[in-house]
A = this chain, B = another copy of it.
Amino acid sequence: MLHIEFLTDLGARVTVDVGSADKLLEVQRQYGRLGWTSGSVPTGGYQFPLDNEADFDWSLIGARRWTNPDGEEMILHRGHAYRRRELEAVDNRKMKLPPAVKFSRGAKATDPEHIREKADGDFEYVTLAIFRGGKRQDRYALSTASTKRSEADRAA
């Protein structure tokens, strides 16, 4: 038996029992759809493979797609809206980085120091997730296949 700790959409600390390790992602999706999150965003943001970006299942981390009043697609996570940004590959003497997609927002006065990252000038931002390099992991996808598979599991 496993037990996963969530912070509910109402901010309550709730643990959910899970029958076995292979049911874990399914439980994360189920409660993530309600806006529940487990653990905190890693410093610098979640890191996922770039090839997972197009069909990433945001419910895995308690987030969801959201269209803002200006018609812009954003990601909503614990009450904050994050904007999608494409980062070009970096290849100079100091570092070499493949292209990436980053979801970030401007820092707010109440954000703790350790999650703020410096940008140009005085601007500071907070990153939710960065998709860069790596090898696609199907288990992160919002796929019909995974939905069907989990239905088959339930029927079995």
Chain A contacts to B: CB under 8 angstroms: 1-5, 7-8, 10-18, 21, 24-25, 28, 31, 38-44, 46-47, 60-61, 69, 78-79, 96, 108-112, 114-115, 117-118
Q: Is the CB of A2 within 8 A of B24?
A: no
- Majority DSSP secondary structure for residues of A touching B: mixed
**Do A44 and B108 touch (CB < 8 A)?**
yes
Q: Which residue of B lies closest to A118 (CB)?
A: B109
Contact of A3 among B15, B69, B79, B115 (CB under 8 A): B15
Residues of the B chain whose Cβ atoms lie less than 8 Å from the Cβ of A43: 110-112
Shortest C-beta distance, A13 to chain B (Å), equals: 4
**Are B110 and A114 interface neighbours, CB within 8 A?**
yes
